[in-house]
Amino acid sequence: MSSDEAHASAAPLSTKGFRLSRPSIVGHDTPVPPFPIYLSGVVQRGFGRGGRDLGCHTANLPDEALEPLASATHPGIYFGYARVRRDRGTGEKAETEEIANLTDADLDAFPMAMSLGFNPYYKNKKMTAEVHIIHEYPSDFYHHYMDVVVLGYIRPELDYTSRDLEALIQDIDTDKRVTLASLDRPAYRVFAQRLRERE
């Protein structure tokens, strides 16, 4: 068994007791090491399952963008800010994708919840970083650059039975609420501006 497969099979099972005991705010009053962690990369096309099955669209970062995070943390759900940029990657795949219809307002920094891991519900064998930006975009933005700052940890990656999709959706909704509440502190809000200023 590879190390990726071992991590993928180690996620604890989601339980009702866990969901009922979740805190509404996580993290210290200011980010503590290893946070903040900055990531940047071209948004990759994934399986499309987040939007289709869960009502939670995600933007996937490429493997090479994950090194700063994967080397300092472990699989789980994290929070912070993300910002989509107008500039795009190059190459054949980028040329076949429609250019996103993004306004200047869509290029701001917004709260995000990110799943780092193997998504046990879908039995992924490879670690991925799936970023859900809490903002309604007018279109997809594949192959646009995205900057992310990870500021804290929300919870472990959980496994769900095949009949427990509703529990997964409930946990994702809670992750979003926890993200917004946890970022609503002065020491965290400043990172939205720092992300806006990054080139």
How far apart are alpha carbons 23 and 26 in whole angstroms? 7
Residue ranges of domains in the chain: 3-197
Residue 50's pLDDT is 55
For position 113, what pLDDT does the model report? 97
Sheet of 76-88: strand order equals 37-42, 144-156, 76-88, 109-117, 128-133, 59-60
Torsion angle defined by CA atoms of residues 116, 32, 72 and 117, in that order, rounded to the nearest 10 degrees: -10
In this prediction, residue 7 has a pLDDT band, given cuts at 50, 70 and 90, of very low
pLDDT value for 181: 99
Give the pLDDT of residue 4.
45
Model confidence, pTM: 0.83
Of 5, 67, 130, 199, the active-site residue reads 130
Question: Superfamily for 3-197?
Answer: Riboflavin kinase-like (2.40.30.30)
Q: Are 62 and 129 in contact (CB under 8 A)?
A: no
Residue 119 DSSP symbol: -
Active site residue 130: yes
The alpha helices in the chain, defined as continuous H runs, are 3-8, 16-20, 49-54, 67-70, 92-96, 165-183, 186-197
pLDDT tens-digit profile of 67-113? 888 788 888 999 999 999 988 876 555 555 666 789 999 999 999 99
Query: Is 13's pLDDT higher than 60?
Result: no
